[in-house]
Amino acid sequence: MRAVGTGFAYHVGAGLGSFTPFLIGSLQDRGMSLGDAMITCIAVAGVLVLIMLWLGPETRGKTLD
């Protein structure tokens, strides 16, 4: 079960990350510089990671069934 969860999380992240080049290109088409578009995507991804970490349940010390 752990391997399935790990693989699923990895591939969902890779799938969502595949939209980043499209998003950066779209931001550039709207007049944003490449550096600003990249830092915007990095900042949004960082905030999303922090939110997901905050929402996750604490499993320290618990046994898995």
Is the CA virtual torsion 49, 3, 15, 18 positive or negative? positive
Please tell me the predicted confidence (pLDDT) of residue 59: 79
**Vertex 47 angle, CA 43 and 50, to 5°:** 140
Please tell me the predicted confidence (pLDDT) of residue 1: 73
Residue recorded with tokens 């969860």: 5
Q: What are the residue boundaries of the structural domains of the chain, listed by start?
A: 18-55
Please tell me the predicted confidence (pLDDT) of residue 33: 96
Q: Provide the 3-class DSSP secondary structure of residue 55.
A: helix
pLDDT digits (tens, 9 = 90+) for 5-64: 889 989 998 998 999 999 999 999 999 999 999 999 999 999 999 998 899 888 788 887
- How many other CB atoms are found less than 10 A from the CB of residue 37? 20
